[in-house]
Amino acid sequence: MSEFTPKIIGSQNTESYTKIKGLYQELIGCFEVLKWEAENLYSEGNELPISEIIDLLNKNTDLESYLRYKFVTVHEISVSGINTDKLIMSDLLDLPESYGEVIKFVALVKEIIEKICPTYFYVSLSSLKDEISNSFNLNDSFETKLRDFTTVFTKNEMQNTALEAVQKWCDATNDLIELGLLPALRDSWCNVGDRLRIGILNRNPEKRPLTPDPRIFNRHFPLARFGDDAGFVARAIDRNAIMC
């Protein structure tokens, strides 16, 4: 018994594919900037683990105080007579530009994630990290998952057989549309049966009863425009053609 091979049903949803890929491209771009700004703010440029950056996304009202705390403790900032808790939320801190950038890009990343959620296609940020280049990219695994997500496949051999029959019908109907025998607008092509009825023979009760009528290219038949029928030509009886 041969191994079942899934076949694509129809064609890939390229609109959905392009939309989702664009959102993830935007996501990793913003996430990389967020990571870089966070490292500048409170790790003195040293690389932070992805989990640390993702943790920033889960902070809501306490994000600003957390960033201030990390900045003060990492850089060992202190002011005489003011304890750390008060210093963190005071105006005495000379916060760098990266402080505001982290807050901005946390909001941007979360906004993009909210746009991704309704697509129901979810890939973790950590799986998009390239350890060699130390950057994020939409790798081969992502591409494969997205291709499969935006494409419908058959699930068994019976579906393969049915799909092949439907595909042949679609191909034939498309050919008729290209020949100008059927309109392509909306559901107008559904009247293919009416258009071809006079040119199709039904040899019922045979298993495959439908077949083109031999006269299909003759005058008054559906494909007359492709024929070379000069009309009725009287034929004379010629016995001599036999007796020779």
Residue 197 has pLDDT above 50, yes or no: yes
Q: 100 to each of 38, 85, 195, how far by Cα in Å? A: 10, 20, 68
What is the structure's pLDDT at 144?
97
**Which residue's structure tokens are 């801190």?**
93
Position 16 confidence tier, pLDDT thresholds 50, 70, 90: very high
Answer with the residue of higher pLDDT: 177 or 37.
37
Report which of residues 82 and 97 the model is more confident about. 97
Q: Is the pLDDT of residue 118 over 70?
A: yes
Q: What is the pTM of this model?
A: 0.76
The predicted structure's pLDDT at residue 234: 67
Half-sphere CA count of 25, side-chain side, radius 13 A: 8
Residue 132, φ and ψ in degrees, nearest 5: -75, -50
pLDDT at position 36, please?
Answer: 95
- Mean per-residue pLDDT, 223-234: 66
With 90 as the cut, is the pLDDT of residue 162 above it? Answer: no
* 208 compared with 238, residue with greater pLDDT: 208
Give CA–CA dist 41/168, Å, rounded.
62
Say which range, 33-37, 169-173, 208-212, 222-226, has the weakest mean pLDDT: 222-226
Is 209 a residue whose pLDDT tops 80?
no
Per-residue pLDDT averaged across 27-49, rounded? 93
- Spatial distance between the Cα atoms of 90 and 84, rounded to a whole number of angstroms: 10
For residue 177, what pLDDT band results from cuts at 50, 70 and 90?
confident
pLDDT > 70 in the chain, percent: 86
The contacts of residue 217 (CB under 8 Å, 6+ apart) are 223, 224, 226, 227, 228, 229
Q: Which two tokens stand for residue 94?
A: 């000379």
CA distance 206 to 210: 9
Average pLDDT, the chain: 84
Lowest mean pLDDT among 61-65, 85-89, 130-134, 216-220: 216-220
> What's the pLDDT at 39?
94
